[in-house]
Amino acid sequence: MDLPPEFFIFVAIGLAAQLVDGALGMAYGVTSASLLMAFGLPPAVASASVHAAEVATTGVSGLSHGYFGNVDRKLMWSLVLPGVLGAVTGAWLLATVDWTWLRPLVAVYLLVLGLMLVWRAWRGRRREPRHGGNVPLGLGAGFLDAVGGGGWGPLTTSHLMARHLEPRIAIGTANAAEFFISLAVSVVFLATLGVSHVHVVLGLLVGGVIAAPFAAWLTRRVPARPLMAFVGLLVSAVSLYNLLR
């Protein structure tokens, strides 16, 4: 198969997006899907391409985070089951319903959550982690991830941190669970849309797989307070961008 020149652009995008996603727990889907739609791809095709690439990138990322001790397996499975259900529902509805109206509401919610994480990191207070609420979190994050081409990372990672979970565990667990979400969405898209834009998927996949192990290692090395502040700033910046757009 002859690869077009822009293939290497997608490799670079996949590498950069996965480096941020693997280290901070978010932004691969949002960044990649936004770029693909800027190139003129329909939302359903963009989301399908991103999730197809994420099957490999999140798999490598999840294994890497597990190797470095960043994954709470019990918490991961409590997020996976409702997350898959929400993702499959969102992927199935994306082809027939316009969900554009939902994105500004989610952006406002995440902006508030991101600013709260920055404030908490600045104050430096730690509390015991709170448990529970994983079913609605998984359902909502999985649904929004399928509908918008991204969203699992910002919602799950920021929510887990807001419950006072250690940042590296929140990031690693969200990344590991995302593999199953991406796999479920890809299966639905494959059945409904078929395979297209193979060079886009391959480019994102190659770049993401290269970056995933280094990003997981970086998460373990960065101290908790700066890591929480970085996540809060990233969530806030992405939310502001989506609102302004």
149 pLDDT above the threshold of 60: no
Q: Yes or no: say if 76 and 192 are a contact pair by the CB < 8 Å rule.
A: no
pLDDT at 152 over 70: yes
For 208-233, letters b (16+ CB in 10 Å) and e give bbbbbbebbbbbbebeeeebbbbbbb
Contact between 14 and 205 under an 8 Å Cβ cutoff? The reply is yes
HSE (side-chain half, CA atoms, 13 Å) at 85? 12
Whole-number Å distance between alpha carbons of 175 and 81: 15
* 41 or 172, which is more confident: 172
Mean pLDDT of the chain: 75
> What global pTM score does this model have?
0.69
Tokens at 179, concatenated: 């593999």
Crossing angle, helix 152-162 and helix 167-193, to 10 degrees? 150
> What's the pLDDT at 243?
75
pLDDT digits (tens, 9 = 90+) for 185-242: 777 767 765 666 677 778 878 888 888 788 778 777 777 677 667 767 776 777 777 6
- Under a CB-based contact definition with an 8 Å cutoff, are residues 215 and 145 in contact? no
CB 48 within 8 A of CB 201: no
Spatial distance between the Cα atoms of 38 and 31, rounded to a whole number of angstroms: 11
pLDDT tens sequence across 75-109: 899 999 999 998 888 877 766 666 566 667 666 76
